[in-house]
Chains A and B, each alone.
Chain A
Amino acid sequence: DTAVSQTPKYLVTQMGNDKSIKCEQNLGHDTMYWYKQDSKKFLKIMFSYNNKELIINETVPNRFSPKSPDKAHLNLHINSLELGDSAVYFCASSRARSSYEQYFGPGTRLTVT
């Protein structure tokens, strides 16, 4: 009964392809996030949804598009993948959008060749 789960765990693909990463949380939380961890281990917020509404949209290429079909799911779709997109992508959730502990999924390691 994993709290925050992501699929796939590893994703290897070629430049120019389109791919999606899925995230699900079973904690009953209202807010979900996508973070990117680069090769130097630096973690940075990409997007956040609260009750299916986008509340954070950091400066990321518009090739990245989050979608939240319901409160328990937040997917990340990436178009026209580039070498620089290679990273580990983490999904997280929290009870509400401010001042609450965030819980992270296991991460998806994306490698673009």
Chain B
Amino acid sequence: GIQVEQSPPDLILQEGANSTLRCNFSDSVNNLQWFHQNPWGQLINLFYIPSGTKQNGRLSATTVATERYSLLYISSSQTTDSGVYFCAVETGAGSYQLTFGKGTKLSVIP
């Protein structure tokens, strides 16, 4: 099956700093989503981005499908950004399911 690798596994930031999270995948995809799992366990949709670039406030994401990677940018980080960020993909072969990476655990300290 498709492999999804996220880096870095852990990240500690000072409040106000910027960061880039990476997601590499091993096959073509027709669905790619970024999620934030907050400290209370809720999975929050950040982006649906099988290709291209999107921005939402301080967050933006870029997927380069031909090179099989996606990047999530967090600017001016806040303590509320803490949690685990997951990348999940659905292969172009119509697997009808999301395969998740292991996540990047982000801690933003004041």
Contacts and interface: CB of A to CB of B under 8 A. Distances in A.
Contact of B97 (A33, A88, A101): A33
Nearest to A102: B98
Contacts of A41: 37, 84, 102-103
B33 A109 contact: no
Main secondary structure on B side of the interface with A: strand
Interface residues of A, number: 26
**Looking at chain B, what size class is its interface with the partner chain?**
20 to 34
Main secondary structure on A side of the interface with B: strand
B43 A42 contact: no
Contacts of B86: 43
A97 interface: yes
Given A41-B84, A103-B45, A97 B103 contact: no
Contacts of A97: 96
Given A42-B102, A56-B96, A98 B45 contact: no
Interface of A: 31, 33, 35, 40-45, 48, 50, 55-56, 88, 90, 97-104, 106-107, 109
B42 interface: yes
